[in-house]
């Protein structure tokens, strides 16, 4: 009984942490259609893509992942935008983002989650 309460407390703490992380570090661009379909958009910064073949390899590898609807790699910015299905968007971000990063790294590229920062107005 005590172990179950501890586990439940840990799960609740993790859920709250994800909510805070999601609210402060990500910019989620969602349309009403995307919300209805239960889609989530993630970005990953990829180093080492040097040509169209590289971007195609990354996109093809990501669309092969379960739940990934689309992947668009920009050679210019090095950012890959991934759209995935999610019944629970926070769970999807917590589970799918690491899988996306691992898939890209498996191709030999360096990858890390990319969280666009909102521009901060200059205070001067």
> What are the pLDDT digits (tens) for 85-123?
876 555 556 568 889 999 999 999 999 999 877 555 555
3-state class (DSSP) for residue 67: coil
> What are the pLDDT digits (tens) for 76-88?
999 999 998 876 5
Q: Outline where DSSP puts E strands in the chain.
A: 39-47, 68-73, 79-85, 110-113
Q: Number of C-alpha atoms within 13 angstroms, CB side, residue 87?
A: 0
Predicted pLDDT at 122 = 59
Domains annotated on the chain, with CATH: 2-113 (3.30.70.100)
72 and 46 Cβ atoms separated by less than 8 Å: no
State the pTM of this model: 0.63
Triad 63, 113, 8: Cα angle to 5°: 95
pLDDT class of 14 with cuts at 50, 70, 90 = low
């Amino acid at each position: 009984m005590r172990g179950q309460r501890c586990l439940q407390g840990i799960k609740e703490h993790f859920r709250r942490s994800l909510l805070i992380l999601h609210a402060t570090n990500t910019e989620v661009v969602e349309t009403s259609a995307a919300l209805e379909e239960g889609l989530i958009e993630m970005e990953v910064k990829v180093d080492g893509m040097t040509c169209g073949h590289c971007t195609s390899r990354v996109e093809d590898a990501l669309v092969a992942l379960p739940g990934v609807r689309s992947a668009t790699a920009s050679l210019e910015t090095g950012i890959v935008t991934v759209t995935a299905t999610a019944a629970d968007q926070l769970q999807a971000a917590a589970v799918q983002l690491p899988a996306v990063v691992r898939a890209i790294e498996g191709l030999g590229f360096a990858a890390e989650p990319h969280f666009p920062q909102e521009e901060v107005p200059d205070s001067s």
